[in-house]
Structure formats: C-alpha cells, structure tokens
Amino acid sequence: MLELDETPLRMTSQRKVIIDELRGLRTHPTADELFLRVRKKRPRISLSTVYRNLEQLAGCGLIQKLDLCGSQRRYDGDTAAHHHVRCLRCGRVDDIPSEAMGDLRKGVCKTCDYEIIGYRLEYLGFCPRCRKQVRRGKPVKPKPRKKG
C-alpha cells in the first residue's frame, strides 16, 4: 500500500486529519458523517474539502471508496479487499471477515453477528460491444448525461 509520505499530495493538516480519522474508524462513514467528526478537530474545514480529499486519497490508494448501494457513498480506511454487511434497519455497514465468506448465505453469521437476510450481487465487466472498443484502447467513459 502506498504510504502517506510517498504520495504526490501535499500533506496539509486537513488531509492528515481526514485520513487519520477515517483510518481510526471501523464504521465506513459517509462523507458528511466524517465531516461532522473532522470538524471537531478543525472547525473551519468545509464539506467540499472532505469530499475532495476522500476522492484524492482513494485515487492514491490510501483509502477505499465503497461503491455499495444506498443513497450515500461510504468510505473505508481499510484498503484490503473484503466484503460488507449492511443493516436493513439502521443502515450500519460492517465488514464480513474473510473466513465467513464463501458459504455464507442465510441465518446468523457467526463471525459478524448479523442476522443475514440476503445479499446483493452485481457482476461487472464489458459487454460484447465494449469489449472490442476496450481492446483497441478506446477510453472508458463513465456515464453520459441526458436531458428531457
């Protein structure tokens, strides 16, 4: 993993507080949850600074941006690959310890102590048309905009 002093990023105090706070949490906070915490240490920080830094830190591989479902994105200070559980009632997100994976389906998960109701799975890849484009090195555009 890239370390703090190897990044091309200047280490501002805001950046330091954001990454420290996130790495100290096991709660997979949203940007605004993190903002509320970080603000206690740097009361003048702005929400967009939090967003911008989370984006950049994730770009450098120092943190992980979670692309889960739900209306708000969550961030993870743990950059190892692992899966997550979300509580259907309160929205809390926890890690699934890797030993628990594989045969985990329903019932109570011994290692994470959740009552598992189901899971959501989405495969990602390239559709037949895009496979060709990608091989020819055409850039991957994220998503087009529409208008009424």
Q: Which region among 70-78, 87-95, 112-120, 133-141 touches DNA (by CB under 7 A)? A: 70-78
Tokens describing residue 129: 């048309």
Question: Quick one: DSSP state of residue 27?
Answer: S
Q: Per rule CB under 8 A, is residue 136 in the interface with its own copies?
A: no
Burial 108-130 (b: 16+ CB within 10 A, else e): ebeebebeeeeeeeeeeeeeeee
How many residues make up the chain in this entry? 148
Q: Of Mn ion, Zn ion, its own copies, none, which one sits near residue 18, judging by CB under 5 to 8 A according to partner kind? A: none
Q: Which of 83, 98, 99, 136 binds its own copies (CB under 8 A)?
A: 83
Binding mask 31-50 for DNA (x = CB under 7 A): xx---------x-xxxxxx-
At residue 53, φ and ψ (nearest 5 deg) are -70, -40
Instruction: Write out the residues near DNA by the rule CB under 7 A.
Output: 9-15, 30-32, 42, 44-49, 51-53, 55-56, 71-73, 145-146
